[in-house]
Amino acid sequence: MSPIRSEAALIERIALLEERKAAIAAEQSEAVLAFATAHAESQTAAGDVDPEMLERSIAAQVGLACRVSPTEGRRRVRIARDLHAGHTRVRELFTAGRLSEYQTATIVAATAHLSGAERSEVDEMLAQRRVETLGVRRIHDLTRSLAARVAPEKFTARCRAARTGRRVSVRPVADGMADLTAHLPVEEAVACYAALAAAVNEVAVRAEPVTRGRGQIMADTLVERLTGQATARDVNVEIQVLVPVEALVDPAGPLPAQIAGHGPVPVEFLTTEEGRRTWRRLIARDGVVIGGDSRSRLFTGRLAALIRARDGHRCREPYCDAPIRHIDHTHRWKDGGRTEFTNGRGLCAFHNHVRETAGWRAAVTNSGIVTTTPTGRVYRSDIDIRAERRSVLAG
């Protein structure tokens, strides 16, 4: 086979696999809807069920089965539901592998506020415009425009409601960095960006040499204006850091420190005298923090802080990266569980609430924390609390 023919065959195979991948995603979406329907029917037949708790349980089980967060599980359930409520043509393209999972999700999200009949109108117009040939951004804009044409009042109400969702969040990324995100009305976001961009010009006309790039100046200006500090690096904040016990003996060793919830950083970063950051060091071995017992009903104070630090400030349920909002008794308090380090686990609000749904169980075993869902499937947290504590105490 000539090199040109071989390359053409490989490209053909890549295209075919992409179609298969989309078709498999469509098949999985069908299964998600079938499970959600069957589980809702079985739970309803067993007695009165809180609809919100039932939705949580379905989303959590789908998330675990797909190895994603419960938020993503809930999104997949809703996409599967809406695809069968007006999106006949889009669903056909998805099943045939001509629309990707991402493209399909974009269409469904842009029409989530419409009724089934209104979705059908948008669905037909999308098919007429050969939506499968468009990029994701164009699909997004076209679908929203068509939805606004079909139901202008609902579109206006959706935009108005979106403004109530303005918020600020922080997300850890690699190398000791984090993304600070502001979700704002477009005119406010543009005004903020313009103000930061103007700061670049202010620095450029100063007499001293410019040693920072445009992005660095804008980022530093943002920190200075939000915190009120004279310079960005002069922030006043306390940060919990898990320092390997080996680093106390050999500060030049290869083991990095861990900023709880944000990942590893070099130990040398913690010894700088610049700024007024306070590093609260929690000595650990293999990433484990030693804790203590309590007779309190609730996990509070230092015990709660130690559990949050041990769990990396992230929910302990598999595949969930949401921030810890609650400290849960793995062995329930009402069943004799104690408020102690080995019986506490950090959970997000979603997973703490879903555990109260019928059929959900959690237990501490020698292999870690085991969660059992209403269908009988078992999921295990990789961290063995009891073994960790024994190893640290022995050391």
Are both 278 and 219 inside the same structural domain?
Answer: no
Are both 311 and 388 inside the same structural domain?
Answer: yes
Tokens of 274: 């610049």
Are both 201 and 136 inside the same structural domain?
Answer: no
Boundaries of domain holding 177: 168-227
**Which pLDDT score, from 0 to 100, does residue 33 have?**
97
Domain end (from 162, 189, 215): 162
Are both 106 and 86 inside the same structural domain?
Answer: yes
DSSP letter (8 states) at residue 334: G
Q: Who's near 141: CB < 8 A, 6+ residues apart?
A: none
pLDDT per residue as tens, the chain (395 positions): 566 678 889 999 999 999 999 999 999 999 999 999 999 999 988 887 888 999 999 999 999 999 999 999 999 999 999 999 999 999 999 999 999 999 999 999 999 999 999 999 999 999 999 999 999 999 999 999 999 999 999 999 999 999 999 999 988 888 878 899 999 999 999 999 999 999 988 888 787 888 889 999 999 999 999 988 777 666 655 555 555 555 555 555 555 655 655 566 665 555 544 544 544 555 555 554 444 344 456 787 778 888 888 888 889 898 888 889 899 888 888 888 888 888 888 999 999 889 888 889 888 887 778 899 999 999 988 654 444 444 333 33
**Which pLDDT score, from 0 to 100, does residue 393 have?**
38
Please name the residue that has the structure tokens 């420190």. Answer: 257
Are both 74 and 158 inside the same structural domain?
Answer: yes
Are both 156 and 29 inside the same structural domain?
Answer: yes
Are both 210 and 262 inside the same structural domain?
Answer: no
**Which pLDDT score, from 0 to 100, does residue 374 have?**
92
Q: 365-373 — which CB contacts under 8 Å span 24+ positions?
A: 369/316, 369/330, 369/345, 371/64, 371/317, 371/318, 373/60, 373/61, 373/64
Residue 148: closest CA among 138, 158, 163, 139? 158
Q: How big is the CA angle at 100 (ends 95 and 103), to the nearest 5 degrees?
A: 115
Are both 221 and 244 inside the same structural domain?
Answer: no
**Which pLDDT score, from 0 to 100, does residue 390 have?**
42
**Which pLDDT score, from 0 to 100, does residue 332 have?**
83
Are both 278 and 307 inside the same structural domain?
Answer: no
For the chain, the domain total comes to 4
0.75 exceeded by pTM? no
